[in-house]
Every structure is written in structure tokens, then in C-alpha cells.
Amino acid sequence: MAHGDSALLDGARRRTEPDPPGTSLRDRGQWLIAAVAAAFTLAQLVLVRPGMGLGWDETVYVSQVGTQAPAAFFSAPRARGVSLLVAPIASWSTSTELLRVYLAVLSGLALYLALRTWRGLFPDRVLAVGGALFASLWITVFYGPQAMPNYWVAVGALGTVGCFLRAREHPRALWGVVAGAALMAWMRPTDAVWTTLPLFVVAAVTRRPRPAVALVAGLVLGGVQWVIEAYISYGGLAERLHEGSRIQGGLGPQFAVVDQLRSLGGRALCRPCTGPLPNPAIMTWWAVLPLLAAVGLVVAVRAGRTARTLVPLACATTAAVPYLFLIGYAAPRFLLPAYLLMAIPVADALFHLATTPAGRWRPVAATVLAIGLAGHLAVQYAVLERTVKRTTDSHQDWADTAAELHRLGVRPPCVLTGYLSVPVAYYAGCHSAAAFGPNTNSTESRILGASRRMPVAVLTEHGAEPPAYARDWPTRPAAGMDLHIAPSQSERGPT
């Protein structure tokens, strides 16, 4: 870290020391950050329906430790972190509401702890506003209470970078580097590697081996299970990475920036990513974000505190690269780590634009920013409300389909295959099987063999042809799809 950075760090630390006559500014700043985290938790509980039901990926993660259905096929790109995260609830309860509340509270606490690691690097008000900017995105509020890994990679990344920058002045912060890197690798090992690349570069350039060792220790601690599983279940690490690339459509030079823009309107998964772009009002913040980050960097360079702004922005860039330029589809949650790493430099830029060097508000600039932020929040809330409703309806369709299957005699133990069989199988308490596609875990002969021992159903889109082996099976419609149910042994007659 440059001398100017060290000097500014000392100044920031002095500004957070208690004022002799009155209330501690340090305590006040801590409560300000805590208030942002608490508001984020409350927003999740109010705006995201606890009874929304579990999504496709959630059913995969929860089924690994839950009691409602057999464990779904666990594909190569996935890691066990989310399953372990939800285990304290899912291992004994099937209540989605309880799981949502648990995750909402936990995600608020994680945001608070991640922001705290930056105290002394930036003023508390900048940290609070940065946290609020991130926490007010519809993507953050929507995914905070979900059993998905990307939010947890984000808070792990913020904590890792903050502790990395503080480690020279506070050696104990190296434990935070270990913990943050482990959390990222626990959730998504490949994302953890991409995100920490700039930190290894900084450690090498500044000849600081201890932070690099802490990073390696955290990545190994969090990723060792994933690597061991690669050799046990996938034939080795290279094979698992290759299979993960195949499932994601083949990793390589691609341009997914426009796909990410299309997903901003509330599309949880944009694959294939076609159709028109959303309303410009929905995309405006995405275009403004890098501009404000650039302003934050200019401000930091002029103030002689380049490192603490440049490093998180560099990590945000490498975290975003694979999802913008290496895959051919998009999901808004993929960029949550990049958004959180950019949030603090962006908040710093906003304060620079809205206040004078003496700390007084610039009336015109502050008014324009307030109006812009109010409009931004209104757009985020509108997208969130629409997304929650659409998601709740689709999950209810899966629950209705499961209920119809039960009515038709397809009850556990049972097997479902075909269209949307993974989430519907979770709701029905069945095994899910696939003879083709990215979740292949069976064969047609094995599915036919299962139909002689237990109830089996093939799910197709309404009006679509089932596989050849199921074309003479009785068909029933349910929630926009067709259920092709294998005849029971008694209906087939003697063989």
C-alpha cells in the first residue's frame, strides 16, 4: 500500500475515534451499518413472500440435506455450501417459510459483518450508503432469502477484500481473509478463484506473502471438499471442470453483456436469452454504475488513497468477467459479487459529487442525486414485485402438478422424468431422473425398469410428444403440462 494510502488510513481511523465530550462517533457509525443490515432483512421478509416456494436450483440444494424428497442429481458446477448452509433448518423441517426467515436473518447479519471489515478504510456513512445501494437492488432483496450461492459469494468477497486491505495495519485481519475466501470457495469455488485473482497480484507486487498464504488457506479450506468430490464422483478435477463447462453450454469467448441487460427485467434465468430489452428505466442504473465507479477511482487517486478503491474494483471486474464474456446465457444473480464490491467506491463517488471538500451539501447536486435515487428505488421495487408474483405463481404450478400426481396415484416412492421433473419431483417427494440433457443421471431402460416396481411419470410441455417408450401411457393435463403415467403392473396384465 502506498504511503498516501497509509496516511489516509490513519486519518480515517482518527475520524472514527470518540469525541471526548459526547457520544462515540465510532459507535454511531456501527449502529448506522447495523441499521442498513436490519432494514435489508426486514425488506426481504416484507417484499419476498416467505411462502413463495422453492425454485429449481433451490430444490437441488435443499434436497441434499432435506427430508421432503430424495436428493436430486448434483451436477458438476454445483458446490455443497448452500446445502450445508440450509441444513440447520432443512434437515428437520419442510417449512419453506421458516427457511426463508432463517436465510433473511442470516443474510442481513452477513452483510453487516462484511461491511464492518471496511471500517477505517472508508467513513462509516460511505459504508452504510454503499450497503444500502447494494441491499436496495431487486436482485439482492430477491435472492437474499433464497437457497442460492451468489449472495454468499458476494458477502464473502467484500469481507475478503476488506480484511486483505486492513491486514498490513491489523495482522489479525488475515483471519478474515481466510474466512471470506473459504466462504466463497464453499459456495462456488470457480467464482472464488476469479474474484481473488487481483489480490494475488497485489500480494506479489507488494511482496506480502502472508496475505497470499491466507488467501490460499481460505480457498483450500472452502474448496477441498469440492476437489475431493471431483475425484470420487467425476473422475478428477480436470474432468469435473470439463463437465461443468459442458453443462453451462461450453465456456469460451462469448458476449453475454446484452443477455445480462435482458435479465434485469426480472428473468431469473435467461437461457436462451432472446426477446426485447427491458424498459430503459430498468437498465439505467446498470449503465450508471461503472461511470460512478470510475468517478470513485478518480477521487481516490486524487486523494492519495488509490489502493482501497482500485482493489475492490479490480476484484469486481474479474468476478464479472466469466459471466459477461465466457458463457452464452445470463442470470441477474451471477453479478451480485461484482455489484457489492463496486458499492463502496460508488457510494464514495456519490458523497464526493453531493458534498463540498468541507463536508457541506451541494444543494443542486444533492437534489438531483436524491431524485435519481428515489426513481431508482421505485423501479427496483416495481421489478421486484413483478418478479416475486411471477415466481410464486410458477412455483404454485409445480405444487399443483405434484398434488395432481398424488391424486393419480404417483406417490413416494416414485420417479419423475422429463420437462420440469427436477422441481416437480421435489414437491411430489419423488426421485427425478433424466436420460438426456445437462442433468443426465439415468437411462431409458432404467426408467422403464423402475416403472415395473413403482409409480413413474413422464412430464412434457402441453401437447408435446413423450419419449417413444411412454407414447401409449395414459396422459393427463396439469398446470400447463401433460403427465404421462406408466400403467401399474396390474393394468399391464401378466408378462
Q: In what order do the strands lie in the sheet with 431-433?
A: 431-433, 415-418, 456-461, 481-485, 475-478
For the chain, what is the mean pLDDT? 92
Rounded Cα–Cα distance for residues 344 and 131 (Å)? 7
> Could you tell me if residue 455 is inside a domain?
yes
Rounded Cα–Cα distance for residues 158 and 152 (Å)? 10
Task: Tell me how many domains the chain contains.
Answer: 2
What cell was used for 191?
467464482
* Least trusted range by pLDDT, from 18-32, 42-56, 335-349: 18-32
CB 44 within 8 A of CB 136: no
- The whole-number pLDDT of residue 48 equals 95
Q: How far is CA 88 from CA 65, 70, 83, in A?
A: 9, 18, 10
CB 128 within 8 A of CB 122: no
- The whole-number pLDDT of residue 437 equals 78
| Phi, psi (deg, nearest 5) at residue 210 | -65, -45
Tell me the average pLDDT across 124-130. Answer: 96
More confident residue, 5 or 140: 140
> Could you tell me if residue 151 is inside a domain?
yes
Q: Which of 227, 250, 273 is the last residue of a domain?
A: 250
Predicted confidence (pLDDT) at residue 21 exceeds the cutoff of 70? no
Reported confidence tier of residue 24, pLDDT bands at 50, 70, 90: low
> Could you tell me if residue 54 is inside a domain?
no
- The whole-number pLDDT of residue 6 equals 45
Rounded Cα–Cα distance for residues 457 and 401 (Å)? 12
Reported confidence tier of residue 30, pLDDT bands at 50, 70, 90: confident
Reported confidence tier of residue 11, pLDDT bands at 50, 70, 90: very low
> Could you tell me if residue 407 is inside a domain?
yes
| Residues forming a β-bridge with 476 | 483
Reported confidence tier of residue 51, pLDDT bands at 50, 70, 90: confident
CB 105 within 8 A of CB 41: yes
For 5, residues 6+ apart whose C-beta sits below 8 A from its C-beta are: 304, 305, 306, 307, 308
- The whole-number pLDDT of residue 5 equals 52
Nearest in space to 312 (alpha carbons), one of 136, 150, 166: 166
The DSSP H or E segment spanning 475 is: strand 475-478
Place of cell 474432468: 239
Predicted confidence (pLDDT) at residue 14 exceeds the cutoff of 90? no
What is the tens place of the pLDDT at every residue in 406-461?
999 999 999 999 999 999 999 999 999 998 877 888 899 999 999 999 999 999 99
- The whole-number pLDDT of residue 148 equals 98
Rounded Cα–Cα distance for residues 495 and 359 (Å)? 87
CB 395 within 8 A of CB 55: yes
Tell me the average pLDDT across 102-121. Answer: 97
- The whole-number pLDDT of residue 197 equals 98
Angle 111-116-117 (CA atoms, 0-180°, nearest 5)?
Answer: 105
What is the tens place of the pLDDT at every residue in 323-376?
999 999 999 999 999 999 999 999 999 999 999 988 899 999 999 999 999 999
For 281, residues 6+ apart whose C-beta sits below 8 A from its C-beta are: 375, 379
- The interaxial angle of helices 306-325 and 336-354, nearest 10 deg, is 140
Rounded Cα–Cα distance for residues 464 and 467 (Å)? 10
Q: Could you tell me the residue range of the domain that residue 483 belongs to? A: 393-492
User: To 10 degrees, the CA torsion angle through 342, 346, 347, 350?
Assistant: -170
Tell me the average pLDDT across 79-92. Answer: 98
| Phi, psi (deg, nearest 5) at residue 461 | -60, 150
Reported confidence tier of residue 489, pLDDT bands at 50, 70, 90: low
- The whole-number pLDDT of residue 488 equals 79
* Residue 188 backbone class (left: φ over 0; alpha: ψ -120 to 50; beta: rest): beta
Predicted confidence (pLDDT) at residue 198 exceeds the cutoff of 50? yes
Reported confidence tier of residue 492, pLDDT bands at 50, 70, 90: low
Tell me the average pLDDT across 134-163. Answer: 98
What cell was used for 128?
452504510
> Could you tell me if residue 402 is inside a domain?
yes
Rounded Cα–Cα distance for residues 110 and 451 (Å)? 46
Nearest in space to 63 (alpha carbons), one of 88, 41, 86: 86
Q: How far is CA 308 from CA 30, 169, 324, in A?
A: 20, 13, 25
Percent of the chain predicted with pLDDT > 70: 93
Rounded Cα–Cα distance for residues 140 and 100 (Å)? 14
Amino acid at 132: A
> Could you tell me if residue 261 is inside a domain?
no
CB 231 within 8 A of CB 197: no
The DSSP H or E segment spanning 155 is: helix 150-166
> Could you tell me if residue 400 is inside a domain?
yes
Q: Which of 250, 280, 299 is the last residue of a domain?
A: 250
Predicted confidence (pLDDT) at residue 184 exceeds the cutoff of 60? yes
- The whole-number pLDDT of residue 273 equals 83
More confident residue, 175 or 20: 175
- Cis amide prior to 145 (ω within 30 degrees): no
Predicted confidence (pLDDT) at residue 23 exceeds the cutoff of 80? no
Q: Which of 225, 250, 275 is the last residue of a domain?
A: 250
What cell was used for 462?
402441453
> Could you tell me if residue 308 is inside a domain?
no
